[in-house]
């Protein structure tokens, strides 16, 4: 089955600086890669996702890049703010077809923004 590794497990960044979280996956058939943000006491919330037919996607201060050849993808947060402090999870799936919706998650990165 799929295996997703995520690094680093903890990350502290000065407010205003950029943060980068990296993930690798093992299943070459995976084609859908979402990122989730989990705040304390809440369920994970989808913040951005990318499919294998594109290499990069941006949404305001958040971007995700994908390298299918190397089987890794990354989350980039620019101009970090205190409200970015949370646990972030990457995930991968074969997605898009009936029965292929199963997501395999990384182990999470606790991001702390230092004021």
Partner 1 sequence: NAGVTQTPKFQVLKTGQSMTLQCAQDMNHEYMSWYRQDPGMGLRLIHYSVGAGITDQGEVPNGYNVSRSTTEDFPLRLLSAAPSQTSVYFCASSRQGAGGYTFGSGTRLTVV
Residues binding partner 1 (CB under 8 A)? 1, 6, 9, 32, 34, 36, 41-46, 49, 51, 89, 93, 95-99, 101-108
Q: Which is nearer to partner 1, 14 or 29 (CB)?
A: 29
- Asked whether 71 and 31 are in contact (CB, 8 A), the reply is no
- Asked whether 25 and 71 are in contact (CB, 8 A), the reply is yes
Least separation in angstroms between CB 111 and partner 1: 15
Half-sphere exposure of 41 (CA within 13 A, CB side): 0
Least separation in angstroms between CB 102 and partner 1: 6
């Amino acid at each position: 089955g799929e295996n997703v590794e995520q690094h680093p497990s903890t990350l502290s960044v000065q407010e205003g600086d950029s943060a980068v979280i990296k993930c690798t996956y093992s299943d070459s058939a995976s084609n859908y890669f979402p990122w989730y943000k989990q705040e304390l006491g809440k369920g994970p919330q989808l913040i951005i996702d990318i499919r294998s037919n594109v290499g990069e996607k941006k949404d305001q201060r958040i971007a995700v890049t994908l390298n299918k050849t190397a089987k890794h993808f990354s989350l980039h947060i620019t101009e970090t703010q205190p409200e970015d402090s949370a646990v972030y999870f990457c995930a991968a799936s074969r997605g898009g077809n009936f029965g292929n919706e199963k997501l395999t998650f990384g182990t999470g990165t606790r991001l702390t923004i230092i004021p």
